[in-house]
Chains A and B, each alone.
Chain A
């Protein structure tokens, strides 16, 4: 049973560029959440997608946008990259949006984004 798959695993971008990160949820899951994790800190919630709509959003600027496809996979797009966007970006999948209260969220291994 495949878990959450994220691509690419590592990425280097130049300040001002745009980036797209991809996530395939765990089989059977229909909801995808995105988190940003700076070095030495806990993850911070960016947003959650369910039924192809953004259902909840954290405190991130509009430069961060996303999309969910009919097959439940998701993309995270970041425009006009800043040096401070360098972080590990984590995708978490769950069932029926709430993160099944019995099993929690399943996380991928993340995409390490470096902005230079």
Chain B
């Protein structure tokens, strides 16, 4: 079973920051937090990952709480093309599989 809990859906206005929460209260010390997204009818796309420090790349920022029990993915200026299902996954590096939950369906509205 997935070790993460996400809201099933969220809306965000175009141009605004989209903040997607994820709870992973049973995360272990050696488990990373990964975020992927899946646009309709496409394969999942890697966004970002982190262990305990906040991370930023060209796509998004990842904020992990100090106790590592939750995290937030931030899309700073959402566009219509960011409409997708976003998955939060925790994974230890030695385990090759990704265990997926149902994700959050993010709808960007004009």
Contacts and interface: CB of A to CB of B under 8 A. Distances in A.
Nearest to B35: A104
Main secondary structure on B side of the interface with A: loop
A104 to B, nearest CB: 4
Please tell me the size bucket of the interface on A. Answer: 20 to 34
A79 to B, nearest CB: 22
A78 interface: no
Interface string A79-116: 00000000000101000011101011111111000000
Interface string A27-59: 000000101000011111100100000011010
Given A98-B94, A101-B93, A104-B34, A44 B100 contact: yes
B64 to A, nearest CB: 15
A21 interface: no
Interface string B41-59: 1111110010000000000
Contacts, number: 56
Contacts of A76: none
Interface of B: 2, 32, 34, 36, 41-46, 49, 87, 93-103
Interface of A: 4, 33, 35, 40-45, 48, 55-56, 58, 90, 92, 97-99, 101, 103-110
Given A98-B94, A103-B46, 18 more contacts: A33-B96, A33-B97, A35-B98, A40-B102, A41-B102, A42-B87, A43-B98, A43-B100, A56-B96, A90-B43, A90-B44, A99-B98, A101-B32, A101-B93, A104-B36, A105-B46, A109-B42, A110-B42
15 contacts: A42-B87, A45-B99, A48-B96, A56-B95, A56-B96, A56-B97, A97-B96, A98-B93, A99-B98, A101-B32, A101-B49, A101-B93, A103-B46, A107-B43, A109-B41
